[in-house]
Amino acid sequence: MTAIETENLYRRFWRVKAVDGIDLSVPEGAIYGFLGPNGAGKTTAIRLILGLLRPNRGAIRIFGEDLRRRRSKALKNVGVAFETPAHYEHLTGRENLDITRRLLNLDKSEIDRVLETVELTYVADRLVRKYSLGMRHRLGLARALLGKPKLLVFDEPTNGLDPVGIREMREFIKTLPARTGATVFVSSHHLAEIEQIASHVAVIHLGRIVFQGGMTELRSLHAPRLEIACSDAVAARTQLETGVRGVDMRGERLVLELTSMEAAEREAAAVNRRLVEAGLDVHHLAIAPWTLEELFMQVIGAPATSRAAAEGEGGHA
């Protein structure tokens, strides 16, 4: 069963199409990264999925339940943490959780369980206005985890966090499906974060889904590259220009396009052999898959500004 399924979802604000006919399919048990630049329609799509906005057309099903017809039932197994953690500042962390617990009609012990999960027990009785941003984020997570929901929706969960907080959040989200069995739907524009945690991704651009599928599928859209450093880059380039496609010279290094991930090791060995046989000393040979950022730029049709490209000086040979 799919955790979230949208069909031709469309929402406009005046003349602006915020979400333009998107068909999402989030498999159960996945960590589903929802990527897009600012203003792409991520937040609007999430708000539509949570019933906070009404679509102009289209359907949304959560675990098979139609959101429009059976809102409460559809949202029964959904926990949400929004981009900016919003809490009642004049109440303690525990009181904040108690509000959601009561509305969900859960046992009181749930509060202690989720506080322990996010490691906030030690400040549970402190007023939220005295919490740091990281603590507020964690309290938001704790609230989302109340009632052990089958689907967790996180909207930009690392926004505003320091590097340590980002790392903690990433590790936390990464382990959630294994620990709780929940499906995680996480929106972000931090591609590196998503790259490390997601099993599936959807890329939204100008309100439309431009890619949706597994991370492996996304990577297979572009074959990996081979980075080479050797004693004479110019000579190596001359050697490789015949028989190997797409040779870039970036500073002292050569970058080659390989044909596929499957053939990468075999091709790397062949390139190495040819260079050695030509009397060149190879001191660096690495298969470099495309980063999510590069792939992202490819699928949204923007020029790549990857680190490799920025470092290089030469164009395609």
Partner 1 sequence: MLRSIEVELIKLKRSKIMIVFLAGPALVALLFFSLQASGASLQVWPFYMFAGFVAWATFMLPLTATIIATQIAQLEHGPKTWAHLLALPVPKWRLFAAKAVVTLGLIAGMSVLTGALLAFGGWLAGALDPDNKLIDPAPFAAMAEQMLGDDDAMFGDMDAALLVKNWRLAVAEKLLYVYLSAFLLIAVQLWAAFRFRNFLIPLALGVGGGFFAIFAQTSAYGIYFPWLLPFNTLGFMPDKVNAALSLGLVGGLGAILLMLVDMSRMQIK
**Residues at the contact surface with partner 1, assessed by CB under 8 A:** 13, 47, 50-54, 71-76, 78, 80, 82, 84, 86-91, 95, 98-100, 102-105, 127, 143
Q: Residue 93 or 224: which CB sits closer to partner 1? A: 93
CB of 228 to partner 1, least distance (A): 51
CB of 50 to partner 1, least distance (A): 4
Token pair in block for residue 3: 């955790």
Q: Using the 8-state DSSP alphabet, how is residue 129 labeled?
A: G
Q: Residue 87 or 137: which CB sits closer to partner 1? A: 87
Coil/strand/helix, residue 17: strand
**Dihedrals φ, ψ of 285, to 5°?**
-145, 115
Task: Count Cβ atoms within 10 A of the Cβ of residue 283 and give its class: 0-12 exposed, 13-18 middle, 19 or more buried.
Answer: exposed
CB of 223 to partner 1, least distance (A): 42
Q: Using the 8-state DSSP alphabet, how is residue 127 labeled?
A: B
Residues 6+ apart with CB under 8 A from 304: 294, 297, 298
- The sign of the torsion formed by the CA atoms of 91, 92, 93, 95 equals negative
The neighbour count for residue 154, using CB atoms within 10 Å, is 26
CB of 78 to partner 1, least distance (A): 7
Residue given tokens 């159960």 in the structure block:
28
CB of 31 to partner 1, least distance (A): 20
Coil/strand/helix, residue 185: strand
